[in-house]
Amino acid sequence: PDGTFGPESCITRAEFATIAARLEATSGAVMHGFTDISGHWAEEYIIEAKERNIVNGDENGKFNPDNAVTRAELTAMLMRIIDTDEYEYDGSFSDVKENDWFAPTVAKALKMGVISKDFKFRPNDFVTREEMCKMIVNIYTFLNGEIDFNVDLSFTDEESISSWARVFVKKAVAAEIINGIDERTFSPKSTATRA
């Protein structure tokens, strides 16, 4: 009350409760640095990925969990799982330049079989859910070996999964890496989000 700190004074229960509430309200953002994931369905996964240095936020402290993820962003996230040296980019794709921030990551992903060789990489295209399955299954296989995928898909939109992607979707579902957007729908052509 008199403006002094009084370090040896007793704290009341009400004061402690106020301090605790303030700490709880800010601790999550302080620990992981993201101000926009509280209460999000993927919050615990995002925090774990941040703690493992797999994901980053933007310059404003946001993760932007519901934003669509680009092919370059997803490749970077996946390559951060593997603690290996960067590879020098050799110009494999016509739309990836040597000085692009993602060029060494793309080189590493190509070398490890996470992405396939094609004329273009399309780094700024948004990743579809079926494309995400292929990339994630490839890195999972690189780290853990083949996935037993003797499963039947029970999605009502199974026929809309591209023929090249079907095996990757089956493997991802079998390994419980990914679910449908609900119990009956996989939505393979929908864009994947950062979450």
- Copy the structure tokens of residue 122: 């399309």
For the chain, the helix, strand and coil percentages under 3-state DSSP, each to the nearest 5? 40, 5, 55
Among the listed residues 93, 82, 81, 177, the one whose alpha carbon sits nearest the alpha carbon of residue 129 = 177
pLDDT value at residue 118: 85
- Would the CA dihedral through 117, 120, 123, 129 be positive or negative? negative
pLDDT value at residue 150: 81
Which contacts qualify for 95-102: CB closer than 8 Å, 24 or more apart?
95/120, 95/121, 95/122, 95/123, 96/121, 96/123, 100/72, 101/72, 102/72, 102/75, 102/76
* CB neighbour class for 54 (10 Å; exposed up to 12, middle 13-18, buried from 19): middle
Which pTM value belongs to this model? 0.78
Which residues, 6 or more positions from 41, have their beta carbon under 8 angstroms from its beta carbon?
Answer: 195
pLDDT by residue for the chain (195 residues), tens only, comes to 455 555 566 666 666 666 655 555 544 444 567 999 999 999 999 999 999 889 988 888 899 999 999 999 999 999 998 866 778 898 899 999 999 999 999 999 998 889 988 889 999 999 999 999 999 999 999 888 999 888 888 899 999 999 999 999 999 999 999 989 998 999 999 999 999
- Copy the structure tokens of residue 106: 């793309």
Which residues, 6 or more positions from 105, have their beta carbon under 8 angstroms from its beta carbon?
Answer: 72, 75, 76, 79, 86
For tokens 């995400």, name the residue: 132
∠ Cα 7 8 12 (to 5°): 90
Among the listed residues 136, 139, 145, 128, the one whose alpha carbon sits nearest the alpha carbon of residue 192 = 128
- Copy the structure tokens of residue 169: 């979707």
